[in-house]
Amino acid sequence: MQSIDEALKKLEHSKFRSSFHLTKKEREYLKEKGMDVMESHARDFVRTKLSAADPVNDGKQTPMKGHPVFKAMHATACCCRGCMNKWYKVPLHQELNEIQQEKIVHLLMAWIKRQEEKDKLQK
């Protein structure tokens, strides 16, 4: 099992996954709402969009923009069950348990925090 740092490092080597960055609007939303709200949203999105054994519209259920967590889901390959299977060997057609959901939330939040840190360094 890989750590969050190992997963994020691996994702950096993907041209597609590493192309995701928070927009100015998404960064402002993050600053306005705070990390606790982002984590709550992440938990909700993982539960509603990914946790079912066969999510509705799997592969198309996560928007590509409009919310920091949506962007994080694509950047970390947690946007659909197919990507999660490819990148993390998460079994298809099996409901995600609470531990799996929490691990995904932690990965999403780590990506968002890194984006926030990069934003601070650029200022």
Alpha-carbon distance of 35 to 53, in angstroms, equals 28
Contact status, residue 74 vs residue 82, Cβ threshold 8 Å? no
pLDDT band at 117 (very low <50, low <70, confident <90, very high): confident
Q: What tens digit of pLDDT does each residue of 104-116 get?
A: 999 999 999 999 8
Q: What tens digit of pLDDT does each residue of 54-93 get?
A: 998 898 989 998 999 999 999 999 999 999 999 999 999 9
